[in-house]
Structure 1
Amino acid sequence: MDDDTPALPRQRFGMRFVVLARRWRRALDAQLAALGLTDAGWPPLMYLAEAGGGLTQRELAERIGIDGSSLVRLLDQHARAGWIERRDDPQDRRTWRLFLTRDGRAVVRRIQAVLDRVEGRMLAGLDDAQLQALLDGFDRIGEGIEAMEAGE
Protein backbone atom coordinates (compact mmCIF):
# COMPACT_ATOMS: atom_id res chain seq x y z
CA MET A 1 0.00 0.00 0.00
CA ASP A 2 1.50 3.35 -1.00
CA ASP A 3 0.93 6.62 0.85
CA ASP A 4 -1.85 7.83 -1.47
CA THR A 5 -3.98 4.71 -1.18
CA PRO A 6 -6.50 4.77 1.68
CA ALA A 7 -6.32 1.77 3.97
CA LEU A 8 -9.06 -0.78 3.52
CA PRO A 9 -11.32 -1.47 6.52
CA ARG A 10 -9.70 -4.87 7.09
CA GLN A 11 -6.28 -3.21 7.14
CA ARG A 12 -7.39 -0.58 9.65
CA PHE A 13 -9.44 -2.81 11.93
CA GLY A 14 -6.78 -4.46 14.09
CA MET A 15 -4.96 -1.31 15.14
CA ARG A 16 -8.18 0.62 15.70
CA PHE A 17 -9.57 -2.24 17.77
CA VAL A 18 -6.43 -2.48 19.92
CA VAL A 19 -6.27 1.26 20.54
CA LEU A 20 -9.98 1.48 21.33
CA ALA A 21 -9.77 -1.50 23.72
CA ARG A 22 -6.90 0.18 25.58
CA ARG A 23 -8.79 3.46 25.83
CA TRP A 24 -11.94 1.64 26.99
CA ARG A 25 -9.98 -0.19 29.66
CA ARG A 26 -8.26 2.99 30.86
CA ALA A 27 -11.60 4.80 31.17
CA LEU A 28 -13.09 1.95 33.20
CA ASP A 29 -9.97 1.42 35.29
CA ALA A 30 -9.85 5.06 36.32
CA GLN A 31 -13.36 4.75 37.75
CA LEU A 32 -12.93 1.26 39.23
CA ALA A 33 -9.73 2.26 41.04
CA ALA A 34 -11.96 4.06 43.54
CA LEU A 35 -13.23 0.61 44.56
CA GLY A 36 -9.66 -0.60 45.06
CA LEU A 37 -9.74 -2.73 41.93
CA THR A 38 -7.14 -3.04 39.21
CA ASP A 39 -7.79 -3.72 35.54
CA ALA A 40 -7.13 -7.40 36.18
CA GLY A 41 -8.98 -7.54 39.49
CA TRP A 42 -12.58 -6.89 38.56
CA PRO A 43 -13.22 -9.25 35.59
CA PRO A 44 -12.94 -12.46 37.69
CA LEU A 45 -15.61 -11.15 40.04
CA MET A 46 -17.92 -10.23 37.17
CA TYR A 47 -17.47 -13.60 35.46
CA LEU A 48 -18.18 -15.42 38.72
CA ALA A 49 -21.32 -13.35 39.19
CA GLU A 50 -22.43 -14.02 35.61
CA ALA A 51 -21.89 -17.76 36.05
CA GLY A 52 -23.67 -17.84 39.39
CA GLY A 53 -20.53 -19.24 41.02
CA GLY A 54 -19.19 -22.73 41.03
CA LEU A 55 -16.57 -22.26 38.33
CA THR A 56 -13.22 -23.96 38.62
CA GLN A 57 -10.09 -21.84 38.47
CA ARG A 58 -9.37 -23.29 35.03
CA GLU A 59 -12.86 -22.45 33.74
CA LEU A 60 -12.60 -18.91 35.07
CA ALA A 61 -9.12 -18.41 33.57
CA GLU A 62 -10.40 -19.57 30.17
CA ARG A 63 -13.35 -17.19 30.28
CA ILE A 64 -11.15 -14.26 31.20
CA GLY A 65 -8.41 -15.23 28.79
CA ILE A 66 -5.51 -15.17 31.24
CA ASP A 67 -2.95 -17.65 32.48
CA GLY A 68 -4.05 -19.80 35.39
CA SER A 69 -1.05 -18.84 37.54
CA SER A 70 -1.91 -15.14 37.16
CA LEU A 71 -5.48 -15.88 38.17
CA VAL A 72 -4.40 -17.72 41.33
CA ARG A 73 -2.72 -14.56 42.65
CA LEU A 74 -5.86 -12.53 41.96
CA LEU A 75 -8.07 -15.13 43.59
CA ASP A 76 -5.82 -15.18 46.65
CA GLN A 77 -6.20 -11.40 46.93
CA HIS A 78 -9.97 -11.62 46.51
CA ALA A 79 -10.18 -14.40 49.10
CA ARG A 80 -8.15 -12.31 51.59
CA ALA A 81 -10.52 -9.39 50.92
CA GLY A 82 -13.43 -11.70 51.72
CA TRP A 83 -14.95 -11.45 48.22
CA ILE A 84 -14.64 -15.09 47.11
CA GLU A 85 -14.42 -18.48 48.69
CA ARG A 86 -13.03 -21.73 47.41
CA ARG A 87 -15.05 -24.87 48.03
CA ASP A 88 -14.15 -28.48 47.39
CA ASP A 89 -15.66 -29.91 44.24
CA PRO A 90 -17.84 -32.84 45.35
CA GLN A 91 -17.10 -34.64 42.06
CA ASP A 92 -13.32 -34.14 42.14
CA ARG A 93 -11.52 -33.56 45.44
CA ARG A 94 -8.48 -32.17 43.61
CA THR A 95 -10.54 -29.27 42.26
CA TRP A 96 -11.79 -26.10 43.89
CA ARG A 97 -15.03 -24.38 42.93
CA LEU A 98 -15.17 -20.60 43.27
CA PHE A 99 -18.07 -18.67 44.75
CA LEU A 100 -18.71 -15.04 45.57
CA THR A 101 -19.31 -14.24 49.22
CA ARG A 102 -21.93 -11.76 50.39
CA ASP A 103 -19.22 -9.07 50.40
CA GLY A 104 -18.16 -10.20 46.93
CA ARG A 105 -21.71 -9.83 45.63
CA ALA A 106 -21.83 -6.32 47.13
CA VAL A 107 -18.58 -5.43 45.33
CA VAL A 108 -20.02 -6.81 42.08
CA ARG A 109 -23.05 -4.54 42.47
CA ARG A 110 -20.73 -1.54 42.90
CA ILE A 111 -18.65 -2.62 39.89
CA GLN A 112 -21.81 -3.02 37.80
CA ALA A 113 -22.97 0.47 38.78
CA VAL A 114 -19.64 1.91 37.58
CA LEU A 115 -19.78 -0.14 34.37
CA ASP A 116 -23.35 0.98 33.69
CA ARG A 117 -22.47 4.64 34.20
CA VAL A 118 -19.18 4.68 32.27
CA GLU A 119 -20.22 2.35 29.47
CA GLY A 120 -23.51 4.22 29.17
CA ARG A 121 -21.58 7.36 28.36
CA MET A 122 -19.22 5.59 25.97
CA LEU A 123 -22.05 3.83 24.12
CA ALA A 124 -24.47 6.77 24.06
CA GLY A 125 -24.06 7.25 20.29
CA LEU A 126 -25.13 3.69 19.45
CA ASP A 127 -28.63 2.22 19.45
CA ASP A 128 -29.42 -1.35 20.53
CA ALA A 129 -29.35 -2.71 16.97
CA GLN A 130 -25.88 -1.27 16.40
CA LEU A 131 -24.65 -2.69 19.69
CA GLN A 132 -26.05 -6.11 18.84
CA ALA A 133 -24.31 -5.99 15.46
CA LEU A 134 -21.02 -5.22 17.23
CA LEU A 135 -21.55 -8.07 19.69
CA ASP A 136 -22.33 -10.44 16.83
CA GLY A 137 -19.14 -9.30 15.12
CA PHE A 138 -17.16 -9.90 18.32
CA ASP A 139 -18.56 -13.43 18.45
CA ARG A 140 -17.43 -14.10 14.88
CA ILE A 141 -13.99 -12.66 15.60
CA GLY A 142 -13.77 -14.89 18.68
CA GLU A 143 -14.69 -17.91 16.60
CA GLY A 144 -11.97 -16.99 14.10
CA ILE A 145 -9.43 -16.72 16.91
CA GLU A 146 -10.49 -20.10 18.31
CA ALA A 147 -10.16 -21.70 14.88
CA MET A 148 -6.73 -20.14 14.43
CA GLU A 149 -5.61 -21.37 17.86
CA ALA A 150 -6.87 -24.85 17.02
CA GLY A 151 -4.69 -24.80 13.91
CA GLU A 152 -7.51 -24.65 11.39
Structure 2
Amino acid sequence: MDRLESVILFLIDQTSKTAKRFTQRELDKKGWDITIDQWVLLKIVEESNGLSQNELAEKSSRDGASITRSLDILEKKHYLERKATPEDRRQYKISLTPEGQAFIAKNMSLVNKHRAKSLEGFSSEEIKSLKEMLLRIQKNMS
Protein backbone atom coordinates (compact mmCIF):
# COMPACT_ATOMS: atom_id res chain seq x y z
CA MET A 1 0.00 0.00 0.00
CA ASP A 2 1.26 3.47 -0.91
CA ARG A 3 2.19 5.90 1.80
CA LEU A 4 -0.12 8.89 1.88
CA GLU A 5 2.69 11.23 0.80
CA SER A 6 2.92 9.38 -2.53
CA VAL A 7 -0.81 9.32 -3.35
CA ILE A 8 -1.46 11.60 -6.33
CA LEU A 9 -4.72 13.06 -4.98
CA PHE A 10 -3.03 13.87 -1.67
CA LEU A 11 -0.15 15.54 -3.54
CA ILE A 12 -2.59 17.60 -5.62
CA ASP A 13 -4.38 18.73 -2.46
CA GLN A 14 -1.11 19.60 -0.72
CA THR A 15 0.09 21.50 -3.78
CA SER A 16 -3.13 23.50 -3.89
CA LYS A 17 -2.84 24.37 -0.18
CA THR A 18 0.81 25.37 -0.57
CA ALA A 19 -0.03 27.63 -3.50
CA LYS A 20 -2.91 29.26 -1.60
CA ARG A 21 -0.74 29.88 1.48
CA PHE A 22 2.06 31.38 -0.61
CA THR A 23 -0.26 33.65 -2.55
CA GLN A 24 -2.25 34.71 0.52
CA ARG A 25 0.99 35.75 2.27
CA GLU A 26 1.91 37.83 -0.77
CA LEU A 27 -1.55 39.43 -0.96
CA ASP A 28 -1.39 40.26 2.73
CA LYS A 29 2.05 41.86 2.29
CA LYS A 30 0.59 44.05 -0.48
CA GLY A 31 -2.34 45.05 1.75
CA TRP A 32 -5.02 43.70 -0.58
CA ASP A 33 -7.42 42.88 2.28
CA ILE A 34 -8.91 40.04 0.23
CA THR A 35 -8.65 36.27 0.36
CA ILE A 36 -7.60 33.97 -2.46
CA ASP A 37 -11.13 32.55 -2.59
CA GLN A 38 -12.57 36.07 -2.90
CA TRP A 39 -10.10 36.84 -5.70
CA VAL A 40 -11.16 33.67 -7.52
CA LEU A 41 -14.80 34.74 -7.29
CA LEU A 42 -13.95 38.18 -8.67
CA LYS A 43 -12.11 36.60 -11.61
CA ILE A 44 -14.97 34.21 -12.35
CA VAL A 45 -17.44 37.11 -12.30
CA GLU A 46 -15.14 39.12 -14.56
CA GLU A 47 -14.89 36.27 -17.05
CA SER A 48 -18.60 35.33 -16.91
CA ASN A 49 -20.43 38.54 -16.09
CA GLY A 50 -24.05 38.18 -15.00
CA LEU A 51 -23.80 34.79 -13.32
CA SER A 52 -26.31 33.68 -10.74
CA GLN A 53 -25.09 32.74 -7.28
CA ASN A 54 -25.68 29.05 -8.06
CA GLU A 55 -23.66 29.28 -11.28
CA LEU A 56 -20.86 31.02 -9.38
CA ALA A 57 -20.90 28.29 -6.72
CA GLU A 58 -20.67 25.62 -9.41
CA LYS A 59 -17.84 27.33 -11.33
CA SER A 60 -15.85 27.90 -8.12
CA SER A 61 -16.59 24.45 -6.61
CA ARG A 62 -17.79 26.09 -3.39
CA ASP A 63 -20.95 25.66 -1.36
CA GLY A 64 -23.74 28.23 -1.37
CA ALA A 65 -23.23 29.40 2.21
CA SER A 66 -19.55 30.26 1.73
CA ILE A 67 -20.38 31.97 -1.58
CA THR A 68 -22.98 34.12 0.19
CA ARG A 69 -20.48 35.19 2.87
CA SER A 70 -17.82 36.03 0.29
CA LEU A 71 -20.29 37.94 -1.88
CA ASP A 72 -21.44 39.95 1.14
CA ILE A 73 -17.83 40.94 1.84
CA LEU A 74 -17.05 41.76 -1.80
CA GLU A 75 -20.22 43.80 -2.07
CA LYS A 76 -19.30 45.80 1.07
CA LYS A 77 -15.93 46.51 -0.54
CA HIS A 78 -17.82 47.76 -3.62
CA TYR A 79 -16.11 45.20 -5.89
CA LEU A 80 -19.32 43.59 -7.12
CA GLU A 81 -23.06 43.96 -7.05
CA ARG A 82 -26.03 41.65 -7.02
CA LYS A 83 -29.14 42.60 -8.95
CA ALA A 84 -32.42 40.72 -8.68
CA THR A 85 -33.55 39.19 -11.95
CA PRO A 86 -36.95 40.40 -13.18
CA GLU A 87 -38.29 36.86 -13.68
CA ASP A 88 -37.31 35.64 -10.19
CA ARG A 89 -36.64 38.17 -7.44
CA ARG A 90 -35.03 35.45 -5.31
CA GLN A 91 -32.27 35.03 -7.88
CA TYR A 92 -29.51 37.55 -8.46
CA LYS A 93 -27.19 38.31 -11.32
CA ILE A 94 -23.69 39.13 -10.09
CA SER A 95 -21.45 41.63 -11.85
CA LEU A 96 -18.32 43.63 -11.15
CA THR A 97 -18.54 47.28 -10.23
CA PRO A 98 -16.13 49.79 -11.77
CA GLU A 99 -14.14 49.49 -8.50
CA GLY A 100 -13.99 45.72 -8.90
CA GLN A 101 -12.82 46.03 -12.49
CA ALA A 102 -10.15 48.53 -11.45
CA PHE A 103 -9.02 46.27 -8.57
CA ILE A 104 -8.52 43.34 -10.94
CA ALA A 105 -6.76 45.45 -13.57
CA LYS A 106 -4.43 46.98 -10.97
CA ASN A 107 -3.45 43.65 -9.42
CA MET A 108 -3.46 41.19 -12.31
CA SER A 109 0.29 41.57 -12.87
CA LEU A 110 1.01 40.27 -9.35
CA VAL A 111 -1.26 37.29 -9.91
CA ASN A 112 0.48 36.58 -13.21
CA LYS A 113 3.87 36.67 -11.43
CA HIS A 114 2.64 34.07 -8.92
CA ARG A 115 1.29 31.89 -11.70
CA ALA A 116 4.64 32.09 -13.50
CA LYS A 117 6.55 31.30 -10.29
CA SER A 118 4.50 28.14 -9.79
CA LEU A 119 5.59 26.90 -13.22
CA GLU A 120 9.29 27.81 -13.03
CA GLY A 121 11.45 25.09 -14.54
CA PHE A 122 8.63 23.48 -16.52
CA SER A 123 8.78 23.33 -20.30
CA SER A 124 5.76 24.29 -22.42
CA GLU A 125 5.23 20.63 -23.19
CA GLU A 126 5.31 19.67 -19.49
CA ILE A 127 2.76 22.38 -18.68
CA LYS A 128 0.49 21.18 -21.48
CA SER A 129 0.79 17.57 -20.28
CA LEU A 130 0.14 18.55 -16.67
CA LYS A 131 -3.03 20.43 -17.64
CA GLU A 132 -4.24 17.45 -19.65
CA MET A 133 -3.55 15.04 -16.79
CA LEU A 134 -5.29 17.22 -14.21
CA LEU A 135 -8.33 17.62 -16.45
CA ARG A 136 -8.40 13.85 -16.96
CA ILE A 137 -8.36 13.31 -13.18
CA GLN A 138 -11.24 15.77 -12.83
CA LYS A 139 -13.18 13.95 -15.53
CA ASN A 140 -12.49 10.56 -13.93
CA MET A 141 -13.76 11.80 -10.58
CA SER A 142 -16.91 13.55 -11.81
For the aligned pair, the TM-score class normalised by the smaller chain equals 0.7 to 0.9
Asked if 1:13 corresponds to 2:8, the answer is yes
- Off by >6 Å, runs of 4+ in structure 1: none
Partner-residue secondary structure (3-state), 1:132: helix
Q: Structure 1: which amino acid aligns with 2:55?
A: E
TM-score (norm. length: structure 2): 0.87
Alignment partner, residue 48 of structure 1: 45
What stretches of structure 1 of length at least 5 have no aligned partner? 2-6, 147-152
1:132-143, aligned counterparts within 5 Å? 132-143=128-139
User: 1:80 offset after TM fit, Å?
Assistant: 0.9
User: 1:48 offset after TM fit, Å?
Assistant: 0.7
Q: 1:82 to 1:135 in 2, by over 3 A?
A: same
User: 1:65 offset after TM fit, Å?
Assistant: 1.0
Q: Structure 1: which amino acid aligns with 2:40?
A: P
User: 1:145 offset after TM fit, Å?
Assistant: 2.0
Asked if 1:75 corresponds to 2:68, the answer is no
Asked if 1:112 corresponds to 2:108, the answer is yes
Distance of 1:139 and 1:91 partners within structure 2: 36
Partner-residue secondary structure (3-state), 1:99: strand
TM-score (norm. length: structure 1): 0.82
Does the CA-based 8 Å contact 1:42-1:111 persist in structure 2?
no
Partner-residue secondary structure (3-state), 1:21: helix
Distance of 2:107 and 2:22 partners within structure 1: 13
Alignment partner, residue 4 of structure 1: none
For the aligned residue pairs, the C-alpha RMSD in angstroms reads 1.8
Aligned with residue 99 of structure 2, among 103, 107, 110: 103
Q: Identity across aligned pairs (percent)?
A: 25
User: 1:107 offset after TM fit, Å?
Assistant: 1.5
Q: Report how many aligned residue pairs link the two structures.
A: 138
Distance of 1:55 and 1:31 partners within structure 2: 29
Asked if 1:22 corresponds to 2:17, the answer is yes
Distance of 1:32 and 1:122 partners within structure 2: 16
Distance of 1:67 and 1:135 partners within structure 2: 25
Q: Structure 1: which amino acid aligns with 2:128?
A: Q
| Structure with more relative contact order (C-alpha pairs < 8 Å, separation 6 or more) | 1
Q: Of the two, which has the highest radius of gyration?
A: 1
User: 1:67 offset after TM fit, Å?
Assistant: 0.9
